Structure 1
């Protein structure tokens, strides 16, 4: 079927309103993910002549990041005709193909001399996309290409073509720190909508707000609304059902987890007191998760239903068929359900196959595909060589809220200590993975001969650093950490971390068994907050 050029031009004109002198994207979120700065640096001033692949799960925010990059380019004076956005999730564009899209673009608008910017959404639907990107990078030096994909085969199947041709940025779900920022953004959005209705809000300069933790202290709003009586406005609006109070004490900044070992005892007490309001928000984060649209829904059951139906179900029932030709959808769903029930557990393939009645090759293929579409992470056992090859993987669901949503837990998750602990461990791993992924640091788990285990082991700057999650009501004591102590002794490890539940379970854990090891206890809300904050900063220490 041939697509007429006029029809294609009409669709591209709708997707690229800046060609007609209109605002880049109406209602584009004011708030930006932490990864935006890294992405835009590659778009505006790439350190190497490469394309950029933004890879991440469905509805994790990839398209928004592309459009925010376009908005920033236009703000900096780039010619509108030199910027193309196309999504190959659109049936007409997918059917037309890349060459037809370029021809329609060049016919619709004239390009100025200089750099051309191509933003291509859902590139996995472009035929022979790897060869096309390779050719563009090699022979069209004036083009900067940024493309997204929801499936890891974009990287794996085209590794040979991709070497030196594109730089990959992995986009995970929101960190806890970003989740808090997004809640604050909801308040900004309320003020924005209020003033746009009352006064026509363009005069107040709402674009590109850099959010801070003290949004309601008045500093930001005094800059935005210099002629408004803020206290009167705030007191009036706080009486409405539309506005939530998001005042939170500012937590101490942390440049590195290592710095905690130098804190005096009073700093731990102070941080614990300041963190008290964050505990409930951390639990809400575990319930709603880190998909931006879902995270903004107030009703927990509605949020989890959207997560289950609009993200998980569409990946399993639509994307798996479209991208990989999967036909046994029911078996695939059962495998994923099994993984949700064993989130954070060591995968026992024999048990899975026996319980579900599937063959080992089928189950193995499904697990690899689930990882490819960013629904799970697989962790190998700690070690090298044959031990790793023969070892069993540990499975984490990609976001802490996915498993509870699939299992229809609702807010009863908070009353189920076992499931809550698994969700917390998944959140801890995801924050570590996101924080260290740009440095190509990988994580594993450790399983000793005495059946003692350590949840997570990272190798940072040639140093082995273990992390154990103990999200339980009782305070952590050294007797509960046999696996951690065994690993530290065997590998001569000097520091380790235990992620705890209570804000009182915070600080250095004294051990007389291994004098050379320092073990730091960190409450999970603080740990995830600091990991997300460190991700945002490009100047912080790597560990």
Structure 2
């Protein structure tokens, strides 16, 4: 007869995973020493709120969700929460496979003699590994109104879709995106030496040095671990491809959606990654990847829900969306993924334009703004934000400042829609100019990316 895992073994593992129960109330030093993401304070405010909802911390692989969970535990312990009132478990641990969440909570209650009325903090890491997790989690939230439940997960397709379906009124989603450019500079401790701040006005101290770091950011800067590890930087292609892309494409998505042909999914993602920021159609994707249009539609949904890509739809000259959208743009959520697949990028490379556009687009990821691009018979605008009455033209060149003809479509769109906020990015130039009775703000792409990340976090 086969042996089953004993209660004693599970308890032993719980003590191992929660060292603060024995370690004078401290988390492991590696988590204490790791720099905090700029999103930490917003996330921690949710943890502190006394409302009967679970927090679902979502995001791509390797952006620091587990670290943020441990840093939240550290903050709770520092504030005086009893170490015995905090439980952390990773559902990726084989020992917990097949266990109901409530059974784990009950064991936690038994170990420390907790009542149903106490204020407890319970963190389920990598929750997507539990089938029907959303039903289990909702049941716990309903049953234990004083317990604060926090779940993290990276195969966000299951998370995003199911948290909306089954957790109505019971879950608060919090998206942790890849590192913004402003966070990247803070992590490498170069923010103050490259940028000056006066209120909400940002200026460059050394544009050449800022651009050099921006190119590093394009190559490996979206992932905290790669930024802080020289080893990961030297072999960023292997680190990002094997540990981030492959695990999502070959493991997470196939296991969640029952995808049989992983090579088909891989071929589609490779095609999209190479064409990040370009306008494409289902027909062109089908021809270049060899995957049928109906399957592509399905896969695009999966890839977007797993935070690998972002689909952006077109508006016309009047900022109106199309009823039947046949063409669209797809961006990688992190430009470093393209470098991992096709080699690192240098400042003069042909792909710089689309990668700069991808990087700027990725700064917007945390907020669900109405971002589109505009295209009509004889014109195009790279980014249109219909919510903020804003448009952006992205260039990795200074020629656009000297040649007003290159902005004909941009100015036409501004006048047609009475746009109040407009920016044209450059390689090195910062200035304001009036062209055809229109005030245009020119900013270096690297500075604009920095400004976006900073302002989105503020607001």
Residues 1:489 and 1:441: Cα distance change in structure 2 (over 3 Å): same
Alignment of 1:297-312 (within 5 A): 297-298=229-230, 300-312=233-245
Report how far residue 386 of structure 1 moved: 6.9
Q: Partners of 2:191 and 2:159 in 1: how far apart?
A: 37
Alignment of 1:415-426 (within 5 A): 415-426=347-358
Residues 1:98 and 1:2: Cα distance change in structure 2 (over 3 Å): farther
State the partner residue of 1:527: 448
State the partner residue of 1:99: 102
Quick check: 1:371 aligned with 2:304?
yes
- What SS does the corresponding residue of 1:251 show, helix, strand or coil? strand
Structure number having the greater strand percentage: 2
Report how far residue 388 of structure 1 moved: 4.5
Report how far residue 146 of structure 1 moved: 1.0
Quick check: 1:346 aligned with 2:279?
yes
Q: Partners of 1:418 and 1:361 in 2: how far apart?
A: 32
Instruction: Compute the TM-score of the two structures, normalised by the length of structure 2.
Output: 0.91
Instruction: Compute the TM-score of the two structures, normalised by the length of structure 1.
Output: 0.78
- What SS does the corresponding residue of 1:432 show, helix, strand or coil? coil
- What SS does the corresponding residue of 1:393 show, helix, strand or coil? strand
| Higher alpha-carbon deviation: 307-316 or 413-422 | 413-422
State the partner residue of 1:181: 186
Is the CA contact (8 Å cut-off) linking 1:470 and 1:498 kept in structure 2? yes
Q: Partners of 1:84 and 1:45 in 2: how far apart?
A: 18
Residues 1:85 and 1:283: Cα distance change in structure 2 (over 3 Å): same
Residues 1:318 and 1:418: Cα distance change in structure 2 (over 3 Å): same
Q: 2:414 aligns with which of 473, 480, 488?
A: 488
Q: Partners of 1:329 and 1:466 in 2: how far apart?
A: 38
Alignment of 1:110-259 (within 5 A): 110-111=113-114, 114-150=118-154, 151-184=156-189, 213=191, 248-255=193-200
Report how far residue 249 of structure 1 moved: 4.8
Q: Partners of 1:354 and 1:160 in 2: how far apart?
A: 34
State the partner residue of 1:400: 335
- Per-residue CA distance 1:462-486 (angstroms, 9 max, x = gap): x420111011253433211232122
Q: Partners of 1:291 and 1:51 in 2: how far apart?
A: 26
- What SS does the corresponding residue of 2:213 show, helix, strand or coil? helix
Is the CA contact (8 Å cut-off) linking 2:123 and 2:150 kept in structure 1? yes
Is the CA contact (8 Å cut-off) linking 1:494 and 1:518 kept in structure 2? no
- What SS does the corresponding residue of 1:320 show, helix, strand or coil? helix
Quick check: 1:34 aligned with 2:35?
no
Residues 1:483 and 1:297: Cα distance change in structure 2 (over 3 Å): farther
Residues 1:390 and 1:303: Cα distance change in structure 2 (over 3 Å): closer
Quick check: 1:64 aligned with 2:67?
yes
State the partner residue of 1:443: 371
Is the CA contact (8 Å cut-off) linking 1:97 and 1:127 kept in structure 2? no
Residues 1:331 and 1:135: Cα distance change in structure 2 (over 3 Å): same
| Higher alpha-carbon deviation: 22-31 or 350-359 | 22-31
Residues 1:482 and 1:297: Cα distance change in structure 2 (over 3 Å): farther
State the partner residue of 1:501: 427
- Per-residue CA distance 1:238-287 (angstroms, 9 max, x = gap): xxxxxxxxxx25512452xxx68xxxxxxxxxx34444432211111111
Report how far residue 432 of structure 1 moved: 2.7
- Per-residue CA distance 1:65-104 (angstroms, 9 max, x = gap): 0000001101111011111111111122132231221232
- What SS does the corresponding residue of 2:248 show, helix, strand or coil? helix
Q: Partners of 1:327 and 1:348 in 2: how far apart?
A: 24
Q: Partners of 1:509 and 1:152 in 2: how far apart?
A: 44
State the partner residue of 1:206: none
Report how far residue 346 of structure 1 moved: 1.4
Q: Partners of 1:174 and 1:25 in 2: how far apart?
A: 23
Quick check: 1:84 aligned with 2:87?
yes
| Higher alpha-carbon deviation: 483-492 or 12-21 | 483-492
Aligned pairs, how many? 449
State the partner residue of 1:208: none
Report how far residue 458 of structure 1 moved: 1.0
Report how far residue 342 of structure 1 moved: 0.6
Quick check: 1:459 aligned with 2:391?
no
State the partner residue of 1:324: 257
Quick check: 1:336 aligned with 2:269?
yes
State the partner residue of 1:217: none
Residues 1:2 and 1:100: Cα distance change in structure 2 (over 3 Å): farther
Report how far residue 10 of structure 1 moved: 1.4
- Could you say what the CA RMSD is over the residues aligned between the two structures, in angstroms? 2.2
Report how far residue 34 of structure 1 moved: 1.0
| Higher alpha-carbon deviation: 474-483 or 66-75 | 474-483
- Gaps of at least 5 residues in structure 2 are none
Q: Partners of 2:135 and 2:289 in 1: how far apart?
A: 40
- What SS does the corresponding residue of 2:196 show, helix, strand or coil? coil
- Per-residue CA distance 1:155-200 (angstroms, 9 max, x = gap): 223424322211111111101111111113xxxxxxxxxxxxxxxx
| Higher alpha-carbon deviation: 4-13 or 60-69 | 4-13
Report how far residue 349 of structure 1 moved: 1.5
Q: Partners of 2:132 and 2:420 in 1: how far apart?
A: 49
